[in-house]
Amino acid sequence: MTDVKKISGVSFAKAPLDEISGKAAEILALGWKESGLRGDPWAVSFEKVFPDTTTDAEAELRAVMGDYWMTKDDQRAYTEAISAAQRLARRRCSE
């Protein structure tokens, strides 16, 4: 069998600020490491090597994040909602 590196993004946007470092520490304790890929300031990409391709890599991450887990679609919708709110606020400030 061949080892497979899996990369998964985790959004901390729904997590309370006082829980973010604890959640990140739990993920790191499971053998994940930050991949260095960034984009969204509230999201972190983690990577981990697994012994096969059948492993559900995100299962560990979902378990750690619990109710704060966001799918890629959730993350996209959240980002779009924040952007829309910012545009509305700028428009109101300029009136």
User: Residue 64's pLDDT is what?
Assistant: 95
Domain range list for the chain: 4-94
Specify burial of residue 29 (Cβ count, 10 A radius: 0-12, 13-18, 19+).
Answer: exposed
Whole-model pTM: value is 0.78
Quick one: pLDDT band at residue 78, thresholds 50, 70, 90? confident
What is the distance between the alpha carbons of residues 52 and 90, in angstroms, rounded to a whole number? 49
Handedness of CA 23, 84, 36, 10 (dihedral sign): positive
Cβ pair 69, 62 in contact under 8 A: yes
- As given in the structure block, the two tokens for residue 51 are 């012994």
The pLDDT of 64-89, averaged and rounded, is 89
Strand partners, 50: 4
> Per-residue pLDDT for 1 more than 70?
no
Q: Give tens-digit pLDDT for 20-72.
A: 999 999 999 999 999 987 777 888 999 999 887 777 888 999 999 999 999 88
